[in-house]
Amino acid sequence: MSASEPVAERPRRPDNPTKGDRREQAILDAAEALLEERGLDPVTVEQIAAGAGISRASLYFYFGSKQEVVTALVARTMGVTRDDADTLAAEVDVPPQTTIERSIRRIEKQWLDHGVVMRAAVDNAPSNPEVREIWRGTVDLYVDLLGDVLVRAGVPDDGGPTGARALAKGLAWMGERNFYIASAISKAEVRRVAETVLAIWFSTIEDRVG
């Protein structure tokens, strides 16, 4: 991740959530369910509030608009993805193929479990700077993680177009686009794309790892 693109601090649920914390999570859960059912544009603040079992006025105590709800929902989902990246980055003693597979499987799971939120993040990124920073920052974490994996696998880290960092960036964003398209089709398509993405990553290192 470049120094010019800082990653927003990821939200973490407290160990002992307060009533307000629980209500905020209920709002986000209701928003995700409505996104899954209807898509983003038709969903209203009133519907989100009703889904969370609160009044519209109560919702505005936590979020100032539907867009703020969506941003918080993206941040919550990406927080899990970033935690996964941190965990995988600490596993420096496992074979490169293992880290690659674990990474892609965790990304696959997020698209399977929260595809509607992931697509909303992509769709909102151009017009919402906060969502854009969260999304790009999360992808950058995986670029850093998998760039290190490629180096461990023997790919030169030479700064060129075929160096480890350039390959990791290209492959990460290729995967992002393919998962996005697949998620809008079906869960089966997401699983199929995951196998293709894995095959491409493995082919990148197969001549370097015995």
Q: What is the DSSP string of 26-78?
A: HHHHHHHHHHHHH-TTT--HHHHHHHHTS-HHHHHHH-SSHHHHHHHHHHHHH
Q: Please give the Cα distance from 195 to 6 (Å, whole number).
A: 31
Q: How many Cα neighbours within 13 Å face the side chain of 47?
A: 14
- Place 39 in a pLDDT band, splitting at 50, 70 and 90: confident
Confidence (pLDDT) at 82: 94
Could you tell me if 60 and 23 are in contact, meaning their C-beta atoms sit under 8 angstroms apart?
Answer: no
| Total number of domains constituting the chain | 2
Flag whether 11 is in a domain: no
What average pLDDT does this structure show over 60-88? 95
Q: Structural domain of residue 92, as residue ranges? A: 66-209
Average pLDDT, the chain: 90
pLDDT at 7: 41
Q: What is the rounded CA–CA span in Å between residue 17 and residue 20?
A: 8
Cα–Cα distance measured from residue 41 to residue 187, given in angstroms and rounded to the nearest whole number: 22
On whether the CB atoms of residues 28 and 73 are closer than 8 A, the answer is: yes
pLDDT tens string 124-138: 999 999 999 999 999
Please calculate the CA angle 14-85-31 and round it to the nearest 5 degrees: 50
What distance in Å separates the CA atoms of residue 110 and residue 77, rounded to the nearest whole number?
8
Q: Is residue 191 part of a domain?
A: yes
Prediction pTM value: 0.86
For residue 96, the Cα-to-chain-centroid distance in whole angstroms is 21
Short-list 141, 18, 121, 132, CA closest to 73: 121
CATH number at residue 55: 1.10.10.60
**Which of 15-24, 56-65, 75-84, 139-148 is predicted with the least confidence, judged by mean pLDDT?**
15-24
Contact 125, 190 (CB under 8 A): no
49 within a domain of the structure (yes/no): yes
| Domain match, 191 and 172 both | yes
